[in-house]
A and B are shown apart, each in its own frame.
Chain A
Amino acid sequence: MTATLHPAAPSAPPAASPDTRRRRRRTHGALAGWLYATPTTLFVLLLFVLPLLLVLQMSASDWPLLSGNQGLNFPENYQDAVSNRFFWDSVVFTLKYTVLTTIILLALSLGLALLVQESSRWKGLLRTSFLIPSALGLASASLLFYVIYSPIAGPFADLMASWGFTFLGTPDGALWSTIFLIVWRYAGFYMLLMLVGLQGISEDVYEAARIDGASRWQTFRDVTLPLLKPTLALTTVLCVTGSLLAFEQFYILTKGGPDNSTITIVQLIYSVAFQGPNNLGVAGALSVIVLLALVVINIAQIRAFGKKVED
C-alpha cells in the first residue's frame, strides 16, 4: 500500500494514453478474467452444482448404496422419507434443540459480551477463558464431555451414584447435557461477534441516554438492543443454521440415545444412507427436504430482521 500512487489519476484523465490503455485492458480483461476465475468455476461446477443436480436425481431414483442407480422411483422415495418412523420425531427434536440452543446461546453470549466489554486486565482474562473452548474441535469437545458425563470415569461419578441419576440416561437429560456442551463450546465465539457489534455503537448515544435520565435497563432495551440488531441478525442466522444441521455432538455424545430420543435430521440422513438401510435414494429425498426447509427458514429470518431494521 505504500507504493507511489498517481495523485490525479481518477479525477483528471490526462491526455489519451491511460484512457486507451484502460479500455484495452477492459476488453481483453474478459478473457483474462475468465482465466483467473477458472479454478473457482471448476470447483463450483464440479463439487457444488453437479452434486446438487445429482442429489435431485438421486432423490427421484431407486439408488442403493452399493449397486448404484436402479431407475426411477419418484414419489416413493419422498413418501418413504416422510413415513420413516424417526422422521417426525427427528424434525420435532431438531426444532426443539434449535430453539433452545439459539435462545440460551445468544442470551448468554450477549451477557458475556456486556460483561467483558471494557478492557481491563481482569476482563481480558475472563475473555480469554470464555474463548478457550472455541479452539477445540466439536468432535473432541463431544468426546471430552462424554467422559465428563460418564457415570464411571467422570468427575461427577460419585455425585451421580449418590443422587441416582445420570446425565445421558434420560431423553431430557441428554438434550440438556448436549445443550450445555454446545453453549460451553460456542459461547466465546458468539461473544466475540457480539463484542464487535457493541464496539460499533458510539459512546455518544449512551451519553445522550444518560443525559435524558434513562435507567440502565431502559438504555439496554432502547439503545443497545436496537443498535445491535445487525449483529443479532447475523448471530441468529448462524446459530439457527448450525443447530438445524447439528450432527457431531449427537453422533458422539449421545449416539441418538437414549431410546432414539436425540436423533437430529442430519443424523437420520446419515443413518439412512450409511448405517442400515443403505438407501441413498431416500437419503437424497431427505436431503432435498432439509435443503428446502433451510432455504425457507433462512429467507424468513432475513426478511424478519430486514423488516425490523427498516421500522
Chain B
Amino acid sequence: MSIDTEPTTTRAMVTDAAAPSTREHRVARKHPSASFAGIALRTPGWVLTGALALIFLYPLIWTAISSVSPRAGTNQVDGWGMGNYATLANYQAGIWVYIGNSLFVSLLTVLLTLVISLLGGYAFARFRFPGKDALFLATLAILMVPYATLLIPLYVLLNIVGLSNSLVGVALVLTMFQLPFSTFMMRISFESIPRELDEAAMVDGCSTFGALWRVLIPAVKPGLITVGLFAFLAAWNDFFAPLILINDTNRMTLPLAVANLRGQVQ
C-alpha cells in the first residue's frame, strides 16, 4: 500500500473521440472557463439555478426566521424576540450542559485521533516492522464494518471496564471509527515528505522521536489540520454512538438532545 512519489509522466493524449475509454491519470489542470459539459448545462440561466439554490437554502432560512417570529403554541406568542431561545437554554439539563458534553467528546476525540494517527502514520511511513501490512489492513477494515455491529459488543465491553455511560468511552469509540481515515491521511502526509529531511535530522544527532518532533511535525501540519477537522466534525455530529453508550440525561451530547426535542414538536 505504499504510495510512491514518482514524477507523474504526462503522456500525449490520444486525440480520438472514438476511443474515449483510454483512461489516463493526468495532472489536473485549471481551465476555469468553457469546459464542454459546463456549456451543455449552462443554458437554463439564472432563474432556474437561483430557484434550485433557494430550495437548498429555504429550510434553513425558514427555521432561522420562525425561531424569532411570533407563533401560537411556542414561547414567542406575540412580537418578535428570543423567547424560544430562552426556553431552549433551560431545556432539561440546560443547553450549556449539552454543549459542554459535545465539546468535551469532540475535543478529546480530536486529541486522541491526532496523537494516534501522528505516531501511527510515522510508523507506517518510515519504519519496517513485522506485521506492518496486517496492522494497516486491519485499520482500514474498520471502514467495512457497520456501526451497529461494533457498537453492541462495545456497549458490553465498556460496561465491563466501567466506562459505561461515560463521555470518555464515547470519545474512545469515536476515535476508533476515525482511525482508518486519519491513519491513511497521516501515512500519505509522511510519505510525501522526502526521507532526506529526517535523515538529515538524525545525522545531526536527533533520535527518531526528535526527528518527528523537531522536523516532521511542522512538515505534516496540513495533514494534521485535515485529520483534526474531520475528527471534530464527525464527533460533534455523531448520533449513534452516544445514543447507545449514554443513557444519563446530564451526559447527553447535542445531537441526542436534539433528538429528544422531537417530543416538543407536533
Contacts and interface: CB of A to CB of B under 8 A. Distances in A.
Interface of A: 1, 3-6, 9-10, 18, 21-22, 25-26, 29-41, 43-44, 47-52, 54-55, 58, 68, 111-112, 114-115, 117-119, 122, 125-126, 129-130, 132-133, 136-140, 142-148, 150, 152-153, 155, 184, 187-188, 198-200, 202-212, 214, 216-217, 219-220, 222-224, 226-227, 229, 244-245, 247-248, 251-252, 266, 269-270, 273-274, 280, 283-284, 287-288, 290-291, 294-295, 298, 309, 311
A294 B141 CA distance: 12
A309 B23 contact: yes
B225 interface: no
A143 to B, nearest CB: 5
Shortest 3 CB-CB contacts between residues of A and residues of B: A33-B127, A137-B237, A33-B129
Given A33-B127, A37-B132, A203-B29, A245 B239 contact: no
Contacts of A58: 152-153, 156
Contacts of A142: 259
Interface residues of B, number: 104
Contact of B215 (A3, A132, A273): A3
A139 B259 contact: yes
B152 A48 contact: no
Interface stretch (B53-61, B75-83, B93-101): B53-61
Nearest to B14: A208
15 contacts: A5-B194, A30-B128, A32-B208, A40-B116, A44-B142, A44-B176, A44-B179, A48-B150, A129-B57, A139-B237, A143-B258, A143-B259, A216-B40, A224-B37, A247-B148
Given A21-B203, A117-B35, A145-B59, A269 B152 contact: yes
Contacts of A137: 236-237, 239, 254-255, 258
B92 to A, nearest CB: 15
Given A36-B208, A47-B172, A244-B146, 9 more contacts: A29-B208, A40-B119, A44-B138, A55-B149, A122-B49, A132-B57, A200-B25, A287-B146, A294-B146
Nearest to B10: A202
A295 B149 CA distance: 13
Given A30-B129, A129-B57, A290 B215 contact: no
Nearest to B48: A115
A204 B34 CA distance: 12
B266 interface: yes
A187 B259 CA distance: 23
A39 B149 contact: no
A54 B194 CA distance: 42
Interface in B190-234: 193-197, 199-200, 202-203, 208, 215, 219
B119 A248 contact: no
Contacts of A48: 138, 141-142, 145, 150, 176
Given A4-B200, A118-B33, A208-B16, A126 B149 contact: no
Contacts of A35: 123
